[in-house]
Structure 1
Amino acid sequence: MACMPKIRPLSLSIALILSSHAVLASSDEIEEVSVIAKKISYANHQIDTSMTQQQNTVSSVLGLMDNLPGISINEGDAFGGDDWSTSITMRGFSIDGNQQQLGMTVDGIPNGGSNYGGGAKANRYLETENLATVEVGQGTADLASASLEALGGTFNFVSIDPSSEKQTTIAYTTGDHDASRYFVRHQTGQVLGHTRAYISYSQTDTSRWIGEGSNGGTTKQHAEFKFISDFEQLSITGRLSFDDVEEDNYNSVSIAQFKQTPDWDQLTWNWTGVPHFDQMFAEGWSTLRENTLGYLKFDYALSSTSSLTFTPYLHKNSGRGDWIPPYLVKAVDENGLPTHQGGSVQSKYGFTDLAGNALSPSQGCESSYSWPWESGNLLHSACYPADAVPVMSYRHTHYKKDRFGVLADYQVMLQNHDIKVGLWYEDDERTESRDWHKVIDARVYHHFDQTPYWTQYKNVFNTDTLKLYVQDSINFSDFTLNLGAQKYMVDIEKHDQFGLTPSTRVNSDSDVLLSAGAVYQLSHELELFAGFSENFAAIKNEVLERDASTLTDIVPETAENIDLGVRFSNLDWQVSATVYSIEFDNRITFIAPGSDTGGIDYTVGTNGQYINVGGIESQGLELSAKYQVDQNLSVYSSYTMNDSTYIGNAPGFNAGDKVIDSVDDMFVISTDYTQGNLRSGLSAKYTGERGAAESYTVVDFNLGYSQSLEDAMFESVDIAFVVNNLFDKRYLSTGTGTGETFFIGGPRTATITLTANF
């Protein structure tokens, strides 16, 4: 269990925060971190849009939750512009490259999974200017939440509603690392007597903060449209978002590599013509994605005490992930004959003669020039004739997903009962394939032949989901009792498009999952709450990718969550405290195939397997408090103490070991000061040790000025200056789920945003 002395590194930062207000000018608008607890029986926190002032507009909406208790958001990119290096942890549960244990929705619409291969986190659907709030349910998930991953809690990202007033907003951001962002939004105001809407567009460009020149970066186009039409008893809400992004990734590093060069992730930015080095060329490590999500919500008031809601939605996802292996491969079928589709790798070669024939290394080279990750496949030019031609591949993994679903619920109040009955249905088709392209001339650049020379695999996964739930909130004056039950029925199928392996099907139904809780209102300002829930995560369709997985032996993951807490709120204070205990069973993990390589094994296809390996126990304490000192100054703080350990032995860990990448303790303090039209804020977050990764403290600063104008071209103008990681701390942020490598956290990054409304 973490102990308080670990917070001592914050002392300097806290002093700086408090003393800064002696020299900062004031404004009449206070930057807040709102801690709003719903009338529910489990830990719940909510942020409002003022929290965006602590982050620059180029950043991802995911980072806005980072100061809430229990949550750690880690991103390798300075702006959160790399999904590959992004992770979220909460109470020992994670969203990262290997695990998806936390649910995520946008306006209550399921995101389709948060994994890298065909999933999409909330930042693919929503920009910061269009965010109203993020509703966080730590530990216990809302029964109505539509997610197959909500073992340890849920995040619901809520978009703003259209305004009844007509307005156009234009904003431009520029900053470090070649950051440039344009944003425009038009609010129609009330039209047709019953409808209001907005449409927005943004374009974002940044460079990787590591390296210079051809060091890669992010290019993103994003558009959103939303309308609300209100009739007598019917309200219709529609929303459509489109996101097209190309991200060059970051590489994870070991502790030793970080200590040697804390500002380099081992990727390069100069093409050398030597495949051994150019396999690490940053622009060859890429994520390309398009996401389109739309829904229509029909909310019908049947009477003054009952309502019916029906929400169909559609999601289309496509893209690919890139790597540049330093060789070509020869693939053969099950009979040992050359093939361009399916099969396995017979050999790899890194050099050819002038006619294109594969060359073998000269004798005696192995002892002098073999690299650990290419033992037996020597790629050093000294082992080949002077006129040998180096060759490389450009490996693409293609992702595509089409989802159609519907959410429906009926809610009625009967005396002191508030009853809600609902369902969630979704049909999900995901396609994944991998092909290898020849780099045309590895001596020149990574331009590749558009026609692949080998397609390694192509699989289609179909997932049908039906969730039924019922909940009753019974009000006895100062005492509220919450009861609920839910059940998931999930069927998953895999189809090999090459017809080389038989179709596979697995049932991932849940038992009936129960929840219960109570809220006792001691006074107008103080309430106690307690909650218990059984949570569930279905078997992922990624499990079916692996031919060795024994599906009859794999069962869905489950978790039992208990929360006990207190909330206090008055004009000056908002305080929340929660103790929790969680037992997570039947954890599914991936066991990689045996390999004699010590680095990247580019040829791994559908090898390896998934198995259930014990579980996780988590206990902890979460505290948050906001104090309004006066009309100008507010102070916010949160503290998390978490102890997560493994149950059972498995490859990579033993029973009782700390959960990889889980954080023992976190501490946040943030102050916001306003005077007139000027606003300022300073915040610091301490993150404790995660295995071999050391603790660190990051400080952010923001300063802004807004001005309303009369009889001018613009209604108002605003300027916002934000510096993240003010003291340029070098630290390891995101883990890879292995406990051995981590992504390096972003350096000091400054941006300035100019906004005009008219």
Structure 2
Amino acid sequence: MSKSTPLNADGVAMCSHPSSGERSKGTLAKAAIALVLAGLSFESVAQDSGSGMEVFETFTAVGQGESRANNSLDLEALEIAMPGALPEKMVDKIPGVNVVTRDPFGFYEFGNDIRVRAFNISNLGVTLDGVPVGTSDPRYGSPIGRLVDSQNLTTIKVSQGAGDVTTPAYQALGGSLQYFTKDPSKEQGAMFSATYGSFDHISLFGKYEMGEIAPGFTGYVSGSHFEFTPRGLDGLGKGMARRYEAKFKYELPSDKLDITYAVTYNDRDDFDTAGLDWQEWQDAEAGNYRGTGFGYREYTPWDFPDMPGGSFQYGDLSDQGRNLGPVKYIDSSVGAGEGVNAIYYDKWKNGRMDTLQRFKFDFDFEPGKSMEVVTYYQDKNNYGLWGRDQAYAQTQVRAAYMNDPSRTDIWGQMWYDAAGNAIGEDGSIVTEYGDEHAIVAPGTPTYAPGVTFVPGVPGRTARDENFGGHRYGVTASYTWETENNKLIVGGWYEFDHHGTERPNFNLDGGSILGAYRYDQFNFTNYTRYIDQDVMQFWVQDTWTTMDGNLEVIAGVKAITLDRDANGFLSISEWLKNEETFRSTKYEDMFLPQFGLLYTVNDNTEAFFNYSENMATPNSGTITTAGDTFDPDILKPEYSENFDIGIRGNIGSSSYTLQAYSVSYTDRILSVPVPIDSPNAGAAGNTRYQNVGGVDSWGIEASGDIKTGIEGLSFSGSIALQETTFQEDLLDSVVRIAAGDPIPTAGEGYRVASTSDPLAYEIYQDISGNDLGNTPFLTANFDAIYTKGNWKFNFGGKYYDDVYVNTLNTQPVDSYTIFDGGIAYTGASDTPLEGWKASLSISNLFDQYIWYARSYSGTSGQVLADRGRNVALTLSTKF
């Protein structure tokens, strides 16, 4: 699990580009440049949508026939993707989509920031062959990279503004990402590829096509292995993934039914990453990291034993921060010792094991009448490790016995003498359950002179969190199509059980290098068990008029979600030995969508779309709200999305130009309780609540240009986006004594009075400020040149400056990064037929770049780019 500042619960990463004061200096110039480029920037069309428009075979596609902004990637033709890159990384080429990852492959799930317009991945509807992932959250859900090998994908379809009403999703405020896998081939054969590259990167992929096993019955099986060395862990640890997939399809002789079965098994392990607070980064840039008088170098407890901020701040900042990783010092005899060892890199580890099985039934009853049914079952088994020092574990054990002296679930026991006095390690009488009250191993005799103290918490400890569960569901859509009308009705049901247990154990010998002693339990942070039932229903009608040139699309969906949680939802409940049960229900029975699609001529079509979307609060809102939980106050989040645009062909080129507006309301954050609330002063004094809105607008253009030079084409996209907060945010509540002056607030804050004359609320003055990692201007381009059996590509991306805090006082500079590659395919009728070699390079010029890593109200974090990434791939088919 990530140890960084978490993304806010609103699903919108909170940083942005220059503040309103600075923004005005460059916005008009950027907008003018972008609009000029928009007229020159084109993206390709890769598949026939039935619109009658000419089709070009390139690696992207503009979504003809859709009343929404819609683009897709043809992955069978996309040879410019970095080998080993997960599906999450690939969508960065789509206009309006921005992806920032903490490693070159997008492997570390907690570090991926995937944003489509105003929303991040947690607010998008994501499906695989029609199976909803539910949520892409790395803890409660399933990021798509766990469920499919990139090599088995054929298409990724992105609806930037809104998925249609038939998309099964309960947290989709924005668009959708739909991933589609290849069907088995009727031709028997096999393929194998091997990649070796920078950062000890190895990727292996093999696939066997069974061909037509029986009339109408085909199938394939595949397997892959991926590994690389995360930053800061050279020679110590590797991120690693294994994945096995199979897919079978049976087409009945009657052509009335196709049945597809697919299964994926995923097993992956990764290490948490490290980043710098924005101010620490500025200090390192200035040559004075945390007051040491040095900038980019390696900081160890040997050199800086009393570094301000604690042992967690040690790390390798050499090479401008590219080597900063988990703490990897284990010598307790020097420096900070205890703290450094407690968070040794080997306990910054996570694992994910998933099995997803799904059936798809395609019924063709008669002309114009069809139905698609998808059923699925997923099993999830995950873990996360994290080190703890001895003192922390001892504190929890003492507190647990203080609340309930009779409990028997803890391995260690409190030590007493024959008279019942609380005893310290040296036999002295101490305060019962105080810091000196000794904890002994079971079987240690009552204290008396000469009795040896046997510690119950002998040294460093660690947690081995287990979380996962299972989910199953079904979707069904019935389509009835006549000459001028197309009606779709359907629904989705899913049950999801998620369990999370975070126990803490002794380590063998009290050493951070010791094995877990699962028989020596200390305490648990929580045990959370969540059951969730989701139902969604939809109806959509498309009416065609004006001689087939105008399609009017109207639809509506209804969503209802029931969620129950029970267990020790917080450590305070475990200390009291009192479990909690909670229940919530969210629903909206009318979420409309309306669209228009007008065919201007054989080469051009215009579209308009309006949709209303709801996102239910995530599972964390029911488990972490503390004593302030109130199921009747927290409302779902809502958005209104407008899309308008035009797309088509000009000669041998194709393009799309679109604009949008998004109104995001009732966003959810964990914030202090207002002083006027009946829950003010409750334990923790925080709660999840709806805190206001965000407005966003933008312009996107993309396209593909076929040049007059044989084999040479250009593709590109450009996007402008402005996304701003609409209300200020409650930061804290300050109480004063009678006669004291009214509190003051620093820059970026304001003070508000309350009904209590001795209490004041401090607000972050963010109304009009920009969201995080949402650059005003981004642009992609790629040049591809094919000559005989050779293919060359060169491309890049411009990413505008952003902020990492809502106060808009912590900027991260813009950057332009370039990629390149070369590939050779063996010629037919030669010994090299069926072979292919390719060289791919990202960050071609090895630029030093800093990315936004995490976001908060007052201070965020940044992360250095890893540097040039080179990968050589050899593949063969036979």
What TM-score do you get using the length of structure 1 for normalisation? 0.85
Q: Give the one of 272, 297, 314 matched to 1:249.
A: 272
- Are 1:504 and 2:582 counterparts? yes
Secondary structure of residue in 1 paired with 2:621 = helix
Q: Give the one of 823, 841, 849 matched to 1:704.
A: 823
CA contact (8 A) 2:665 2:693 kept: yes
CA contact (8 A) 1:118 1:318 kept: no
Secondary structure of residue in 1 paired with 2:123 = coil
Instruction: Look up the match of 2:775.
Output: 663
Question: Relative to 1, partners in 2 of residues 1:333 and 1:527: Cα closer, same or farther, differing over 3 Å?
Answer: same
Deviation of 1:354 (Å): 10
Instruction: Look up the match of 1:574.
Output: 654
Instruction: Look up the match of 1:695.
Output: 814
Instruction: Look up the match of 2:704.
Output: 626
Deviation of 1:492 (Å): 0.7
Deviation of 1:269 (Å): 2.9
Q: Give the one of 823, 834, 840 matched to 1:716.
A: 834
Deviation of 1:275 (Å): 2.6
Secondary structure of residue in 1 paired with 2:812 = coil
Q: Give the one of 511, 528, 535 matched to 1:466.
A: 535
Secondary structure of residue in 1 paired with 2:602 = coil
CA contact (8 A) 2:118 2:662 kept: no
- Are 1:133 and 2:152 counterparts? no
Deviation of 1:514 (Å): 0.5
Deviations 1:510-550 (A, max 9, x none): 14001101011111111111110001111222211122332
Q: Give the one of 699, 722, 727 matched to 1:648.
A: 727
What percentage of residue pairs aligned between the two structures are identical?
Answer: 22
CA contact (8 A) 1:52 1:128 kept: no
Question: Relative to 1, partners in 2 of residues 1:416 and 1:9: Cα closer, same or farther, differing over 3 Å?
Answer: closer
Q: Give the one of 682, 704, 710 matched to 2:794.
A: 682
Deviation of 1:70 (Å): 0.8
Q: Give the one of 308, 312, 315 matched to 2:375.
A: 312
- Are 1:142 and 2:164 counterparts? yes
CA contact (8 A) 1:182 1:203 kept: yes
Deviations 1:43-77 (A, max 9, x none): 10101115642222211111111011111111101
CA contact (8 A) 1:47 1:134 kept: yes
Q: Return 449-458 or 241-250, whichever deviates more.
A: 449-458
- 1:50-129 paired onto structure 2 within 5 Å: 50=76, 52-95=78-121, 100-129=122-151
- 1:222-233 paired onto structure 2 within 5 Å: 222-231=243-252, 232=254, 233=256
Instruction: Look up the match of 2:623.
Output: 545
- Are 1:490 and 2:553 counterparts? no
Deviations 1:168-205 (A, max 9, x none): 01111111111112211001111211111111001111
Residue type of the alignment partner of 1:68: I
Instruction: Look up the match of 1:26.
Output: none
- 1:275-674 paired onto structure 2 within 5 Å: 275-327=338-390, 328-329=392-393, 330-331=395-396, 332-333=399-400, 336-337=403-404, 391-441=459-509, 445=513, 447-451=515-519, 452-476=521-545, 477-496=548-567, 500-546=578-624, 547=626, 548-570=628-650, 572-591=652-671, 608-629=686-707, 630-651=709-730, 653=764, 654-674=766-786
Q: Give the one of 330, 334, 352 matched to 1:271.
A: 330
Q: Partners in 1 of 2:511 and 2:528 — Cα distance?
A: 34
CA contact (8 A) 1:436 1:453 kept: yes
Deviation of 1:42 (Å): 1.1
Q: Return 465-474 or 488-497, whichever deviates more.
A: 488-497
Q: Partners in 2 of 1:727 and 1:571 — Cα distance?
A: 35
Deviations 1:400-443 (A, max 9, x none): 12111000011011331111001000011111111112233455
Q: Gaps spanning 5+ residues in structure 2: where?
A: 1-22, 35-55, 285-316, 415-423, 437-454, 569-573, 675-682, 732-763, 804-810
CA contact (8 A) 2:70 2:158 kept: yes
Q: Partners in 2 of 1:697 and 1:190 — Cα distance?
A: 48
Deviation of 1:217 (Å): 2.5
Deviation of 1:693 (Å): 1.7
Instruction: Look up the match of 2:232.
Output: 210
CA contact (8 A) 1:246 1:289 kept: yes
Question: Relative to 1, partners in 2 of residues 1:569 and 1:9: Cα closer, same or farther, differing over 3 Å?
Answer: closer
Residue type of the alignment partner of 2:376: Y
CA contact (8 A) 1:57 1:129 kept: no
Residue type of the alignment partner of 1:284: K
Deviations 1:646-675 (A, max 9, x none): 122224652222112322211111111111
Q: Partners in 1 of 2:57 and 2:509 — Cα distance?
A: 55
Deviation of 1:608 (Å): 5.0
What TM-score do you get using the length of structure 2 for normalisation? 0.74
- 1:169-184 paired onto structure 2 within 5 Å: 169-184=191-206
Question: Relative to 1, partners in 2 of residues 1:80 and 1:283: Cα closer, same or farther, differing over 3 Å?
Answer: farther
Q: Partners in 2 of 1:213 and 1:442 — Cα distance?
A: 25
Deviation of 1:620 (Å): 0.7
Secondary structure of residue in 2 paired with 1:522 = strand
Q: Return 396-405 or 482-491, whichever deviates more.
A: 396-405
Q: Partners in 2 of 1:410 and 1:31 — Cα distance?
A: 32
CA contact (8 A) 2:342 2:512 kept: no
Secondary structure of residue in 2 paired with 1:283 = helix
Residue type of the alignment partner of 2:331: T
Q: Partners in 2 of 1:168 and 1:732 — Cα distance?
A: 42
Secondary structure of residue in 2 paired with 1:661 = coil
Aligned residues: 689
Residue type of the alignment partner of 1:402: H
CA contact (8 A) 2:231 2:323 kept: no
Deviations 1:442-482 (A, max 9, x none): 55625332333212321211110110000011111111111
CA contact (8 A) 1:118 1:401 kept: no
Q: Partners in 2 of 1:8 and 1:614 — Cα distance?
A: 31
Q: Gaps spanning 5+ residues in structure 1: where?
A: 11-29, 347-351, 362-386, 595-604
Residue type of the alignment partner of 1:325: R
Deviations 1:237-260 (A, max 9, x none): 111111100001212322233352
CA contact (8 A) 1:287 1:320 kept: yes
Question: Relative to 1, partners in 2 of residues 1:727 and 1:310: Cα closer, same or farther, differing over 3 Å?
Answer: same
Q: Partners in 2 of 1:715 and 1:76 — Cα distance?
A: 38
Question: Relative to 1, partners in 2 of residues 1:340 and 1:39: Cα closer, same or farther, differing over 3 Å?
Answer: farther
Q: Partners in 2 of 1:464 and 1:509 — Cα distance?
A: 12
Residue type of the alignment partner of 1:642: Q
CA contact (8 A) 2:362 2:373 kept: yes
Deviation of 1:353 (Å): 7.0
Residue type of the alignment partner of 1:743: L
CA contact (8 A) 1:31 1:672 kept: no
Instruction: Look up the match of 2:298.
Output: none
Secondary structure of residue in 2 paired with 1:65 = helix
Give the superposed CA RMSD: 3.0
Residue type of the alignment partner of 1:676: G
Question: Relative to 1, partners in 2 of residues 1:112 and 1:646: Cα closer, same or farther, differing over 3 Å?
Answer: same
